[in-house]
Amino acid sequence: MNDTLKILSGTAHPELAHLIAANLGVSLCKTTVDTFPDGETFVQIHENVRGRDVFIVQPTCPPTNQNLMELLIMVDAARRASADRITAVLPFFGYARQDRKDRPRVPITAKLVANLLVAAGVNRVLTIDLHAGQIQGFFDIPVDHLYAAPVLVNGLREKIGDDIVVVSPDVGGIKMTHAYARTLNAPMAIVAKNRVSAEEVQALSVIGDVEGKNVLLVDDLTETAGTLTAAAGLLKKHGAKNIYAAVSHGVLGDKGKDRLQNSEIIELFATNSVPQAHGPKVTPLDVSPLLADAIRRIHSSESVTSLFDIRG
């Protein structure tokens, strides 16, 4: 790649940024990202980015507010250094679940975050598996919305093969489940759930036949693993044999890792879109080649459509 491309990394996931840069055959742009004693973030870019095509890699995963603010400050630093174009590479877009008013007097924080990114100087966004695809419409700038399915499906085939029933852990995930089932040429089923609280989920019933069959639960993300583990317990009661799970974003905290370890799930497959995607029973799958290819195509003004294909 020529020197007009610059890859910057925040502190949210430097390992992923290094992998992306290695896939592109470039070095990360030298920067300082530090925190003052009072908690303020300081950023300095140590290389010339005037007229350059700048990509800032920073998933807004926990600590979400810190990582988001850091990204905004990095964008401002690049804009004031006269970067030609600034692309925010958000493998995981935090606040995506606050995308509508589902009760009185609540914000639509996903839209607010989109406004903040544009106001800071972001010209383009590159992300993977938004919680709701229509969030792309919250931005008044181009959004390249990639899918983790190609990475996950290829990894799944190597580990568990195609002989499986694909299950949605809730009704809202039917579209994603159908895409996986079609790709794997597998039947699908659904678990109906009731959310008791932000961390507690009650699985109610199974729609479909899972008795004596291997099962793959699919979802876009998991944090406390409440939905997945509750669904797995119910599926086991309905006679499911081996239960696996696949998520695009494994934003796992301590509670999620504990639940997963003590659940009926044999293995959870997750991309390395966030650094939290690790622990017992967790198999991270590298998404950096996909992101690097997208960055290469965006930089060269090529189409990214072919990146949506799932290769068999």
Measured on CA atoms in the order 64, 66, 72, 75, is the torsion positive or negative?
negative
Active site residue 111: no
Give the pairing of strands 53-57 and 265-271.
unpaired
Within the chain, strands assigned E span 5-9, 31-35, 41-45, 53-57, 85-90, 124-128, 143-146, 165-168, 188-195, 201-207, 215-222, 243-250, 265-271, 282-285
Q: Among 30, 111, 175, 193, which one carries the catalytic annotation?
A: 193
Q: 72 by DSSP, 3-state: which?
A: helix
Q: Are strands 41-45 and 5-9 parallel, antiparallel or unpaired?
A: unpaired
Phi then psi for 98, rounded to 5 degrees?
Answer: -95, 70
Residues with Cβ within 8 Å of residue 206, at least 6 apart in sequence: 189, 190, 191, 192, 234, 235, 238
Taking CA atoms, 78 is separated from 67, 83, 122, 299, in Å, by: 17, 6, 10, 17
Determine contact, residues 166/218, Cβ cutoff 8 Å: yes
Burial of 208 (0-12, 13-18, 19+ CB in 10 A): middle
Quickly tell me which residue has 């992300």 as its tokens: 127
- Tokens 């910057």 belong to which residue? 8
- Say whether 52 sits in a helix, a strand or coil: coil
Return the residue matching tokens 């039947």: 187
Q: How many CB atoms lie within 10 A of CB 262?
A: 12
Q: What are the residue numbers of the active site?
A: 193
